Structure 1
Amino acid sequence: MTAAPRNPPRWRDSLFGAHKIRAACRFVVAPDIAPQAIEDVADALRAEGFTLAEAPDGVVVLRRGSVIGDTILNGTGLTLITKRIGPLSVKAIVVVHAAPSGEDAEVTASMLAGDELAPVITGAVDAVIDRLIARGIPVDGPGWTRSVDLPRENIGHPKTAREHGLLR
């Protein structure tokens, strides 16, 4: 990184921190750190009940829940239960990947579905960033934004993900 890194804002410090929205976090690390950062995000989400799905090389797709579970929970008033004990089978899809950014790599973790699980997903990604910083690894980047505000060429953008068959 050419300039002193400015740590990306965490979810709670972003403009979107008080809302359950489909969000994306972009953070910049050295290219040799990017594969481990992707794996760390995947591990953190697997610990939250996500499973790996098929994806193109260099892209990690994690899923949780189902459309049926989401419809039943949200359509029948059972969301009151989930507010007390946490999300059950609410559907969520997250894409994690890295792309070159100058001499560095920009890691993107993007929620393609899963508004209700936003606190779980954002907490896991923020924890990974915090661990990288605690290990003395420089982390830079814009931090959190809405997924739809990602550059259109980013595979974490919902339309681009759909075109690549990642949003099912």
Structure 2
Amino acid sequence: MERMKDISDQVLLFGISENNDEDAFRILFERYSGRLFNLLYRMTQHYEDSNDLLQEVFIRVYKNRQKCFKMKNFKGWVYTVTLNLARDYIRLHKRRREELLDEKREKTGGIDLLNNSANEEIKRKILKALKKLNKKYRAVFTLRDIEGMTYQEISKTLSIEEGTVKSRLNRARLRLTRELEGTL
């Protein structure tokens, strides 16, 4: 099992797709789960739901194991699945959060509970500005500035040129700066 950790994703995916190899699946899970969970948590800000979404990512990996084995860029695909699940989660829960905030404001006589902490207010503004970004810019920004991936890793993950990664990141940062001007 120790030697399997050094095996490429393609070989592990072959074992999963052809032999339902549980050890290979476990290694693939261990290889990606930490970074994918961090990405999900940063996007959802909810620990339990991030765990649920992570499980859904790997359910999709298992269900698509035949397709995954034939992919040239499994890492890019699994990050795309993760980002899409996080976006779906945010979209579905956005309305509910807004309703809960409205209820709290009504109960407190209109006091904005978010202003209790300056850091929370700043964080909220940044997240709001981030949500306004086009998803291609948000993905690059999240992978680089939040996940800490290199330009080359992002290029491979998203199947785009390294120069495109740099220009999208620059545009994302400029748009975030413009969006946040005068609010922080």
TM-score calculated relative to the size of structure 1: 0.29
- 1 or 2, which has the higher helix percentage? 2
- 1 or 2, which has the higher strand percentage? 1
TM-score calculated relative to the size of structure 2: 0.28
Question: Greater CA radius of gyration, 1 or 2?
Answer: 2
